[in-house]
Amino acid sequence: MQQVPPPKCFCGLAARLNRVKRSKEGGDGSRAIGKYFFFCSKKRDDETQCRFARPAELEMSKEKVGARGRKKADGRGGGSDEKVDEK
């Protein structure tokens, strides 16, 4: 999980990776509990902190798709290079 490069948050800084925990006010029914998210890297008490929160799974899937796209662009994968005569 740490191999995924952090995305830029709305502030322009690199986001930090954290696991979502239960809050004391409730929120036990949230689907995000126990999952990893990228958040703004500024301190919580900082008034300029943005509301950036992105699931880490989304970033990992972007990286996988990017790797497949680079393979095809390099000519190492995807389809054959044979020419077919049309009659």
Length of the chain in terms of residues written? 87
Residue 11 to residue 58: CA distance in whole angstroms: 20
Instruction: Give the highest mean pLDDT range of 35-39, 57-61, 68-72, 73-77.
Output: 35-39
The confidence band for 27, taking pLDDT boundaries of 50, 70 and 90, is low
Return the pLDDT at 58.
80
Residue 8 to residue 14: CA distance in whole angstroms: 5
The confidence band for 77, taking pLDDT boundaries of 50, 70 and 90, is low
| Three-class secondary structure of residue 61 per DSSP | helix
| Three-class secondary structure of residue 65 per DSSP | helix
